[in-house]
Amino acid sequence: MAVMTYLEAIRETLRQELRRDDRIIVYGEDVGVRGGVFRVTEGLQAEFGEQRVIDSPLAEAAIIGTAIGAAVNGLRPVPEIQFSDFIFPAINQIVQEAARIRYRSNGTFGVPMVIRAPFGGGVHGALYHSQSVEAFFAHVPGLKVVIPSTPYDAKGLLAAAIQDEDPVLYFEHKAAYRSLKGDVPDERYLIPIGKADLKRPGKHVSIITYGLMVSYALKAAETLDKEGISVEILDLRSIRPLDVEAILDTAKKTGKVLMVHEDNLTGGIGGEVSALIAEHALFYLDAPIVRLAGPDVPAMPYSPPLEHAFMVTPEKITEAARKLAKF
């Protein structure tokens, strides 16, 4: 057991996995010599060589497309997209190819691959280094999408994603890399994909969220606790598949649901979660479901006041949960 940052947990898991299975390769832009622009893959090329930790050309479709071929031919590729904002040149390969290969071959081919990509804002990354892109992929059957919120989950979800026989998108929040620390066991363990985590039990309001927003919601819950408002927090961890049972359980328990994500409101995961609750737990609700999300502007602006206005913060969560509790 060691205390690690979120980033270290990812790196050490990659190292442990690369040691465990020779078929695993890691590649992407700058991941080798430089160890990645965020240093996630630092030291891996030195340990595992240029054959397994590969600096690829600057071409996202090629990175994902070759990973698909390599996966079919017996490797377990873990390609990195340098920023999730730049995943779009590869969307053709991810959606049309990786997601559909098993289905279109009637189960004969599969693509066991994990696409890692840093996402999220609040780091002065502006429009093209701040995006949350998970909803695009959560829409696609054939893909799985996971977003860890703690160093512990970062490890268990990454190992599970690598173990998975299907393509998994693994999104890492940039602001979490160094700000989140926690205990991480040394041994390998798997967190099942599709299982949410009840972070905190509560009585009055349920906050359903994922990624960096989990830690923000926990802060909000502490503040509200002092005011006598008891907040339950459900960390989805996986947004495709969703843990429907856990979502309905918490909605039924408190009867008040606040859905939080940094991704913009319209078409975000919050809409899907709200629909599930409306379909299956409507008569348990004591208030309308509330969604707190990034605003519907094309992407996060640069200038600090604008960026701050975009971001979902612990304060905004506190306010929204307080209002909902008083409904």
Partner 1 sequence: MSKNSITKDLQKDMYYHMALARALDDRMWILNRQGRAPVVYSSNGHEAAQVGSAFALNRGEDWIVPYYRDLALVLAYGMTPRQVMLHLLGKAEDPNSGGRQMPAHWGMKERHILTTGSVVATQDIHAAGLALASKVLKDGRVSVAYFGEGSTSQGEFHEALNFAAVHKLPVIFFNENNGYAISVPARKQMAVMDIAARAEGYGMPGVIVDGNDPLKVYEVTREARERALAGEGPTLIEAKTYRFVPHSSDDDDRAYRSREEVAEWKKRDPLITFEKHVLDNKILSQAEHQEMQKKIKDVVNDATDYAEQAALPDPKTLGDFVYHQ
Active site residues: 129
Q: Which range of residues in 88-96, 146-154, 183-191, 244-252 is near partner 1 by CB under 8 A? A: 88-96
Question: Count of CB atoms within 10 A of residue 76's CB?
Answer: 21
Total interface residues for partner 1 by CB under 8 A:
45
Residue 56: name the closest of 87, 85, 27 by CA.
Answer: 27
Q: Is 67 in the site for partner 1 (CB under 8 A)?
A: yes
What is the SS3 assignment for 310?
A: helix
State the nearest-atom distance from the C-beta of 252 to partner 1, in Å: 28
**Omega prior to 77 cis, within 30 of 0:** no
Q: Is 54 in the site for partner 1 (CB under 8 A)?
A: yes
Complete DSSP assignment for 180-221: -EEEE-SS-----TT--EEEE--SSEEEEE-THHHHHHHHHH
State which amino acid sits at residue 83. Answer: F
Q: Which is nearer to partner 1, 142 or 255 (CB)?
A: 142
Name which of residues 143 to 202 contact partner 1 (CB under 8 A): 144, 164-166
Question: Which pairing describes strands 168-173 and 144-146: parallel, antiparallel, or unpaired?
Answer: parallel
State the nearest-atom distance from the C-beta of 159 to partner 1, in Å: 17
Q: Which range of residues in 12-20, 89-97, 249-257, 268-276 is near partner 1 by CB under 8 A? A: 89-97
Residue 44: name the closest of 113, 121, 111, 116 by CA.
Answer: 116
Q: Which range of residues in 100-108, 149-157, 215-223, 305-313 is near partner 1 by CB under 8 A? A: 100-108
State the nearest-atom distance from the C-beta of 116 to partner 1, in Å: 17
Burial of residue 46, with CB atoms counted within 10 A of its CB: 0-12 exposed, 13-18 middle, 19 or more buried: exposed
Q: Is 57 in the site for partner 1 (CB under 8 A)?
A: yes
Strand partners, 123: none
Question: Using CB under 8 A, which of 37, 62, 91, 265 touches partner 1?
Answer: 62
State the nearest-atom distance from the C-beta of 25 to partner 1, in Å: 6
Q: Which is nearer to partner 1, 37 or 61 (CB)?
A: 61
Question: Using CB under 8 A, which of 15, 37, 39, 100 touches partner 1?
Answer: 100
Question: Using CB under 8 A, which of 75, 169, 234, 236 touches partner 1?
Answer: 75
Residues 6+ apart with CB under 8 A from 223: 314, 318
Strand partners, 205: 231
Residues lying near partner 1 in the complex (CB under 8 A) are found at 23, 25, 51-52, 54, 56-57, 59, 61-62, 64-75, 77, 89, 92-93, 96-97, 100-110, 141-142, 144, 164-166
